[in-house]
Amino acid sequence: MNKPFLADRIDGKGFAADLVEKLTVDVADIKSRTGLTPGLAVVLVGEDPASGVYVGAKHRQTLAIGMESFVYRLPAETTQNELMALLEKLNAASEVNGILVQLPLPAHLNTNAVINVIDPDKDVDGFHILNAGRLATGQDALVPCTPLGCLMMLKDRLGNLAGLNAVVVGKSNIVGKPMAQLLMGENCTVTVAHSKTQDVPALCRTADILVVAVGRPEMVKGDWIKPGAVVIDVGINRIDRDGRSRIVGDVAFEEAGHASAITPVPGGVGPMTIACLLANTVTAFKRQHHIVTHQAVVAV
């Protein structure tokens, strides 16, 4: 007989909707107080279909909360110099408060050089080396959107995270590493696992907080999860099952019923990522204009 599924589903979609609502109010307040409209510029190079969909979604949601959206769709053969020149122009543009280059870039472009030419105070993806350094040293940073969303959901669920054992599976620059830094900032005891880690299941079983960002469908099995743990599944994997295509996470969701809470895929981390991008753009605008508001929308 199957064990009952007792874990709460963390409603990332609802959480993101709440955040977007607060940001809409915040943007209206900024506009009435300053006469200015925060603006986000998104640069897409090439015709990758998934990237095109993400850029379209970012454009629509940016406009929906009352901000300005500037989308630059460049041909795949754009040179490094041409891309750098556009970014320099956006750095200097006063109506652009946030800049994002959609990744991955075509192979002939140097991604690190591209990211690091963005003004760090407009780097709403939080990938610039200065923002990575600020985050690592506990200074005010623009924080990568996906781990920022994960932390917001964890804090909402658990309150004070100090002293909890956190295991982050995956050490990419965009998810795993900043996630570990954020959890250290909350005084968790953090372990990072990756493809060369010995006995990942045993490590996962020590976790009060388990964040998985690997990109392998349902890799984390039920018996890797400590009873009562909070599980954040970042993975987005398309698989074929029972003759139909579906999206699953990096965690075998149906086996995780003994966790205290888990993010579903889809509907968990994904919706929070774009909401946090909008939040970072508002944060960037406020810092550029030295605006202090009564209440921080992003409580990190």
Near ligand NDP by CB under 6 A: residue from 98, 120, 170, 178: 170
Does residue number 191 form part of the binding site for ligand NDP (CB under 6 A)? Answer: no
Report the distance separating Cα 139 and Cα 195, nearest Å.
30
Residues 235-254 that bind ligand NDP (CB under 6 A): 235-237
Q: Under a CB-based contact definition with an 8 Å cutoff, are residues 211 and 168 in contact?
A: yes
Pick 16 or 86: Cβ nearer ligand NDP:
16
Does residue number 175 form part of the binding site for ligand NDP (CB under 6 A)? Answer: yes
- In 3D space, the residue among 267, 269, 44 whose CA is nearest the CA of residue 175 turns out to be 269
What token pair was written down for 111? 């991604």
Which residues on neighbouring strands pair with residue 40, listed in sequence order?
69, 98
3-state secondary structure of 36: coil
What token pair was written down for 23? 């940001």
Smallest distance from ligand NDP to CB 281, Å: 16
Give the contact letters, 45-84, x = binds to ligand NDP (CB under 6 A), - = no.
----------------------------------------
Does residue number 172 form part of the binding site for ligand NDP (CB under 6 A)? Answer: yes
How many residues sit in the footprint of ligand NDP (CB under 6 A)?
25
**Per the residue annotation, which of 26, 119, 123, 125 is the catalytic one?**
125
Question: Cα–chain-centroid distance for residue 214?
Answer: 14
- In 3D space, the residue among 99, 154, 155 whose CA is nearest the CA of residue 131 turns out to be 99
String of DSSP letters for 129-184: HHHHHHHHTT---PPPHHHHHHHHHHHHHHS--TT-EEEEE---TTTHHHHHHHHH
Near ligand NDP by CB under 6 A: residue from 169, 220, 248, 284: 169
125 catalytically annotated: yes
Residue-wise over 87-101: b if at least 16 C-beta within 10 A, else e? beebbeeeebbbbbb
102 catalytically annotated: yes
**Per the residue annotation, which of 58, 171, 177, 226 is the catalytic one?**
58
Question: Cα–chain-centroid distance for residue 150?
Answer: 7
Give the contact letters, 198-227, x = binds to ligand NDP (CB under 6 A), - = no.
--x------------xxxx-----------
**Per the residue annotation, which of 26, 61, 102, 122 is the catalytic one?**
102
Pick 187 or 195: Cβ nearer ligand NDP:
195
Q: Under a CB-based contact definition with an 8 Å cutoff, are residues 70 and 43 in contact?
A: no
Q: Which residue is closest to ligand NDP by CB?
A: 172
Question: Cα–chain-centroid distance for residue 33?
Answer: 29
Near ligand NDP by CB under 6 A: residue from 269, 276, 282, 298: 269
Which residues on neighbouring strands pair with residue 67, listed in sequence order?
none
Smallest distance from ligand NDP to CB 64, Å: 18
Pick 155 or 287: Cβ nearer ligand NDP:
155
* Part in contact with ligand NDP (CB under 6 A); list of ranges 25-33, 48-56, 90-98, 167-175: 167-175
Smallest distance from ligand NDP to CB 144, Å: 9
> What residues are annotated to the active site?
58, 102, 125
Q: Where does this chain bind ligand NDP (CB under 6 A)? A: 146, 169-172, 174-176, 193-197, 200, 213-216, 234-237, 269-270, 273
